[in-house]
Structure 1
Amino acid sequence: MKIKEFIQQNATKLRYMTSIVSVIAMVLSISIIIMNGFNWGLDFTGGVVTEIQLEKNITPKQLHPLLDKAYKQDVTVISASEPGRWVLRYSDIKSGEHRADLQKVLAPLNTPIEILNTSIVGPQIGEELANQGGLALLISVMCILAYLSFRFEWRLASGALFALMHDVVFVLAFFSFTQMEFNLTVLAAILAILGYSLNDSIIIADRIRELLVGKPNWSTTKINNQAVAATFSRTMVTSGTTLITIVALWIMGGSALEGFAIAMFIGVLTGTWSSISVGTSLPEYMGLKPEHYKVTPISDEP
């Protein structure tokens, strides 16, 4: 049996089951976010950024134990533009506490240490970045709402919108549950996920709309199943190639891009899932019918 025929025969059961799982998972995800909150990165909270030059054979695995113990926190070590050059990022020491001397902290490495520069990101700058990031996210969502309202009937648009919320909430819940650092690169990934998931949802929604117009005698369930079957192979190929690129970025990008890659990986997986299940089941549940896209003839009479 071909994959397309299998999907057409079993799509109804699969769509309904996965939609129920998605709703339950969304409730759990929102609960996790409310209870745990986020581990905000220095981009939002402020902190210290120090750039150092060491020997080329020194690795982050050698730096982390010394830095984490001295500063009593997880110090982010990012590779800079040249071999042996590293950028250290950590929260500023509380008032009244002495900041450890970096030269003494890294002395056990027995290597020349050159501190190139040190800068302090104040909480005011972090607050400004958070506001700008939130504004960018809000503008993106508003533009998407406007586009969906113009492009589709409100029931079909609601399915695509809920699928977007579904994907973003899942990513946020992962970072809340694991307490991984939530910084500007993760926020950038969320904005990218919105665009990717929207593209996936629009492809299926367009196919549903075409069938609603072209097959007015079909039931909505049959139309949705046909739309999923018609776009399934394209969706899998697109998602698969995107995931390969993200995994390569995850492996080769280092700690600087780890949060971005993880967020994108989760977003692409959930985006593929939600556009097929939630994006088609919700409009059907809300009563989408071929009549809503029935073409009304224009009278020639004046």
Structure 2
Amino acid sequence: MSEPKVLNFMGRRHWAAAFSITLLLISVVSLVVRGLNYGLDFTGGAQIEVGYEQPADVEQVRTILTDAGYRDVVVQYFGNNTDVLIRMQEDNNPNLGTDVLALLSQERNDVELRRNEYVGPQVGEELREKGGIGMLVALGLVMVYIALRFQFKFAVGAVAALIHDVIIVLGFFSVTQFAFDLTVLAAILAVIGYSLNDTIVVADRIRENFRTVRRDDSLYLVNLSLTQTLSRTIITSLTTLLVLIALGLFGGELIRAFSEALTVGVVIGTYSSIYVASNILLTMQLSKEDLMPPEKEKADQDEVPSWLADPEDDKP
């Protein structure tokens, strides 16, 4: 019987490693140089949403508020060109929304106040610190789980893939300077779960093939495992991406950042489960001996029992 066709994924593992290193370097450099564009959830300040009956001019709104003495004013469209979101670094003032509305009404009378929120800077700093700690704890627990369920080399590969995914998603938001808020942080934690699930499916198949296939070629066994799980990986990723694209297009501004972060995370997570985790397993020289269950200690079959060694004991 001819062997099934096995795709040579790992034949391009060196190119994949170079690609991953390039993305990581770009992400890290951008995070160090540019940082993240933290949203109101992390920086603190006021957020006001106003609506117009006719398309608004964000530059005009920004000029009006800046001339009025407001600090660090950021104005952008919120879903369409008649909804405007205003962020500014101001102290807690319950009447701020009313004051801003009065200023804007002097220029145009077709504006209405829809939302007025305030987040204190201490709360924002606490959210930022606890969010980072949450990601580190999640990665640590994942490593322990994979090491207990599979083997330590699988744990190293899985955690490396997760760190790879998180850094690249953060780098994407640093390069694009899209607002980084709590919804994006929640999306990154979801990316960890998604990528881990995909990696575990691949790892489980690798372990099974290393134990059952009568072949000692680690490269072949990893390629065989990736080929066998490819259809499942593609179907899962595509269906997830279709949902995320729909959310990004029709879900509105409130969840757009969430869908953007998850879309990038799903693409990178699918790539990393194939070319990062598996690549590290080969680099650490995974072998059949690593995955074989420990044999129980058996008595030496050639050892002569004591009752046969001295036949005089059996005489009546």
Range into which the TM-score falls when normalised by the shorter chain: 0.7 to 0.9
Say which SS state the counterpart of residue 110 (structure 1) adopts: coil
Counterpart mapping for 1:12-23 below 5 A: 12-23=10-21
The match for 1:284 is 282
Partner of 1:67: 61
1:49 deviation in Å?
2.7
1:45-75 Cα deviation digits (max 9, x unpaired): 11113355x56xx37x526344333345433
Within-5 A mapping of 1:2-41: 5=5, 8-41=6-39
Aligned counterpart, 2:207: 209
CA distance in structure 2 between the partners assigned to 1:66 and 1:272 by the alignment? 44
Which segments of structure 1 move beyond 6 Å, counting only runs of 4 or more?
none
TM-score normalised to the size of structure 2?
A: 0.80
Secondary structure of 1:75's counterpart equals strand
Larger radius of gyration between Structure 1 and Structure 2? 2
Moved more, 210-219 or 192-201: 210-219
Could you tell me which amino acid in structure 1 is paired with residue 87 of structure 2? Y
Deviation at 1:269, TM superposition (A): 0.4
CA contact (8 A) 1:200 1:272 kept: yes
> Tell me, what secondary structure is at the counterpart of 1:62?
coil
> CA-to-partner distance for each residue in 1:124-166, whole Å, 9 max, x for gaps?
1211221232232233222212211211211122111111111
In 2: Cα distance, 1:296 partner to 1:125 partner = 52
- Checking the alignment, whether the CA contact within 8 Å between 1:77 and 1:255 is kept in structure 2 is no
Q: What is the TM-score of this pair, normalised by structure 1?
A: 0.84
Q: Number of residue pairs matched?
A: 283
Q: How far did 1:107 drift?
A: 4.4
2:288 counterpart of 1:294? no
CA distance, structure 2, for counterparts of residue 237 and residue 226 of structure 1: 18
Pairing 1:32-181 to 2, within 5 Å after superposition: 32-50=30-48, 54=51, 58=53, 62=56, 64-72=58-66, 73-75=73-75, 78=78, 88-93=85-90, 101-111=100-110, 113=112, 115=113, 118-181=116-179
CA separation in 2, counterparts of 1:236 and 1:151? 25
Q: Matched residues, percent identical?
A: 35
Root-mean-square deviation (CA), in Å?
2.7
Cα deviation for residue 119 of structure 1 reads 4.0
Does 1:248 pair with 2:242?
Answer: no
CA distance in 2, matches of 1:160, 1:257: 28
Q: 1:226 aligns with which of 224, 232, 238?
A: 224
Which AA in structure 1 matches 2:62? Answer: D
Contact in 2 for aligned 1:171/1:267 (Cα 8 Å):
yes
Measured at CA, do residues 92 and 298 of structure 1 come closer, stay the same or move farther in structure 2, by a change above 3 Å? same
Deviation of 1:77 (Å):
5.6
Structure 1 residue 232: Cα displacement: 0.4
- Give 5+ residue unaligned stretches, structure 1: none
Bigger shift: 128-137 or 66-75? 66-75
SS in 1 for 2:118: strand
- State the distance in 2 between where 1:9 and 1:184 align: 40
Note the C-alpha offset of 1:110. Answer: 3.2
Q: CA deviation at 1:120?
A: 2.8
- 1:65-109 deviations in Å (ceiling 9; x for gaps): 443333454335657xxxx9x784412259xxxx87332324444
Unaligned runs of 5+ in 2: 67-72, 300-316
Q: Cα offset for 1:185?
A: 0.8
